[in-house]
Structure 1
Amino acid sequence: MDRQSALAALQAAVTAFSREHASASPRWCVALSGGADSLALTAAAVTVKPTTALIVDHRMQVDSGAVAATAREQALALGCVEAQVLCVDVGSAGGPEAAARTARYRALDSARGDAPVLLAHTLDDQAETVLLGLGRGSGARSIAGMRPLDPPWGRPLLGIRRAVTQAACAELNLTPWQDPHNVDRRYTRPRLRAEVLPLLEDVLGGGVAEALARTAAALREDTEMLDGLAERELAEMPTAGGLDTARLVNLPDAVRRRVIRGWLLAGGASSLTDKQIRGVDTLVTAWRGQGGVAVGSPLRSRRLIAGRRDGMLTLHTEPV
């Protein structure tokens, strides 16, 4: 790869993202870990708009403070107008990866003010996300991968390979931080990266990451269209006493399940799985007097239950 082309490719991607998704924002933030992807994104972002680097110190590794300090120095040297180190306490809910992600996004959201936050997810990250969704049977929404814009989060590099960000860092004489978690095979993504994707590339003759990203883009278009239909249906339905199953049952399956998902989220559900949504759907399509379905929620001492009563889908809580 021509090293001189790497930064230019990143700048073109960030400029196109700004034009399409963030033209009204006079400034933006970049979530900077110090790794190659986020360093390269920062280098490109500062050439397009005034940029603030937000560096989350998870304090999960002994040298995390030094890593954050180095990233801050690099951000300022690249031209960021400001660079903040955000120290967080990582809980345990959902395992270490999920807990760290929750703490990180909460800190970024609190520090960003009214500016969008650019995330350095690449095409390789998108391919891994699609594979995870396929393997877990998480449904079309998961297989559709990450969106370029999911306010306040922006992902300008979803069409860029990881090799390009690494080349850009070399071009700029930047030394990225090598996160040991990224090669720790106790975690799922490092194993996908090191074992599964290379095997697929070998067996299928290359181009697998790009093909998975194209699959995600095609599914995302379909998903967004169906989501729009479901939002209109839900907006037209009376929901004060629950959802009318007689009206729901006549909707196309894909639209009905999205209506149910939107209603559950509005009622306080969170972290919904495809299995939970389909379980609630059976209360509409295969009603035999069965009990309710527990769905994900932030409640700790009680469970959120979707049930059916007098022809209506209802939500209630029960003690754990």
Structure 2
Amino acid sequence: MSLHPSVAAVRVAVRRTLADLAPAGSGTTVLVACSGGADSLALLAATVFEAPRLGFRVVGATVDHGLQEGSGEHAAHVVEQMAGLGADETASARVHVEADSGRGPEAAAREARYAVLEQMAEHFGAAAVLLGHTLDDQAETVLLGLARGSGGRSLAGMRRAFDRYRRPLLDVTRTDTVTACQVEGIEYWNDPHNLDPAYARVRVRRKVLPVLEDELGPGVAAALARTADQLRADSELLDELAAAAYAEVAGAEPDLPVAELTALAPALRTRVLRSAALDAGATGAELFHVHVVALDRLVASRVGGQEAQLPGHVTAYLTSGGPDGRLRFRRTAVQG
């Protein structure tokens, strides 16, 4: 009997990702992050099938965020599923998620999840951590970035790979992962959060994208994901050029010369200013486009004594006016 196309799509995607890591050598480990949903279970099943052929061991890992009633029991069930699907080893961890003024619950959960996955990867000596984000997830990310006016970095979507993390399924649809699970007899979990319209991503998934598909025709999600790939290449090149420009402009000094900043092309200058703000201690999760624009206007003004407030209690200011001015940063005085 021939292999079902959806199962084949997931396996081929995993095979390509693992092949990029080869030559593996006996005993090399890949960690698969698994929530118990269709995407991650399809990913784990495909990895268990493909990995031994390239010399990899498979560790299935699940993270209990403790955000829903019965989350501990669910995590235990996912561990059983991962073992049942043939993972060489399984791991689970519970994290404490605490949102604050700068992060919502989703961002806080994501930060906690990546922190514990990194610990697990170190523990098992994993060559890679595989994540189950699909083409549909990518399309939603791009559409949200577009709606929020978040700029090219956001429109470039999720990276296919960063550090030790890999997203094999960015060319695979959610329909394929669900179908693959059904064909292989894998019971998957439908996260209630994925049905909650309080989340913007859920509204995009259940309302916005279907309308776009109805009005513009099929293939909108694939087109958005393709746009992300194209913009990602452009964004990465600009980031490389900006990093080189930042190193040249900054040199060994703790401040930046206004004349050299203003001589940079705007696309490079704003990236340099963002990097400088982060290096000065600005909070990355709260450093938005409006802050970078404020920095850019500060530099363009060339008026000594002007300031711009940045998140993380950082103040940017110009030392003097005219072309000899320099951009500096200091800790913002907190009123007691």
TM-score (norm 2): 0.88
Alignment of 1:6-85 (within 5 A): 6-20=6-20, 22-23=21-22, 26-46=28-48, 47-48=50-51, 49-85=56-92
Are 2:201 and 1:189 aligned? yes
Q: Could you tell which deviates more after superposition, 309-318 or 267-276?
A: 267-276
Q: 1:35-62 deviations in whole A, cap 9, x for unaligned?
A: 0000011111222231111110011111
Structure 1 unaligned segments of length 5 or more: list them. 298-302
Q: CA deviation at 1:307?
A: 2.0
Q: Which has the larger radius of gyration?
A: 2
Distance 1:290 1:37 in 2: 53
CA contact (8 A) 1:37 1:166 kept: yes
Q: Could you tell which deviates more after superposition, 286-295 or 175-184?
A: 286-295
Distance 1:172 1:294 in 2: 55
Structural RMSD (CA)? 1.7
Query: 1:153 is matched with which residue?
Result: 165
Distance 1:306 1:288 in 2: 13
Which amino acid in structure 2 is aligned with residue 252 of structure 1? A
CA contact (8 A) 2:304 2:319 kept: no
Q: Choose the corresponding residue for 1:276, options 281, 291, 301.
A: 291
Q: CA deviation at 1:101?
A: 1.5
Alignment of 1:124-273 (within 5 A): 124-237=136-249, 238-269=251-282, 270-271=284-285, 272-273=287-288
Which amino acid in structure 2 is aligned with residue 128 of structure 1? E
Q: CA deviation at 1:235?
A: 2.0
Q: Could you tell which deviates more after superposition, 57-66 or 109-118?
A: 109-118
Q: CA deviation at 1:289?
A: 4.9
CA contact (8 A) 2:258 2:302 kept: no
Identity of aligned residues (%): 44
Which amino acid in structure 2 is aligned with residue 110 of structure 1? Q
Structure 2 unaligned segments of length 5 or more: list them. none
Q: Could you tell which deviates more after superposition, 164-173 or 76-85?
A: 76-85
SS at match of 1:249: helix
Which amino acid in structure 1 is aligned with residue 331 of structure 2? T
Q: 1:55-100 deviations in whole A, cap 9, x for unaligned?
A: 1001111111111111111111112111111101110222222221
Q: CA deviation at 1:240?
A: 2.0
Q: Choose the corresponding residue for 2:318, options 293, 308, 316.
A: 308
Q: CA deviation at 1:250?
A: 0.8
CA contact (8 A) 2:280 2:314 kept: no
Q: Any runs of at least 4 consecutive aligned residues in structure 1 with deviations exceeding 3 A, and if so which?
A: 286-291
CA contact (8 A) 1:3 1:168 kept: no
Q: CA deviation at 1:294?
A: 2.6
Go from structure 1 to structure 2 and tell me whether the alpha carbon gap of 1:9 and 1:51 turns closer, same or farther (over 3 Å shift).
Answer: same
Q: 1:221-271 deviations in whole A, cap 9, x for unaligned?
A: 111111111111122232523111111111111011111222222333322
Q: Could you tell which deviates more after superposition, 200-209 or 287-296?
A: 287-296
CA contact (8 A) 2:136 2:221 kept: yes
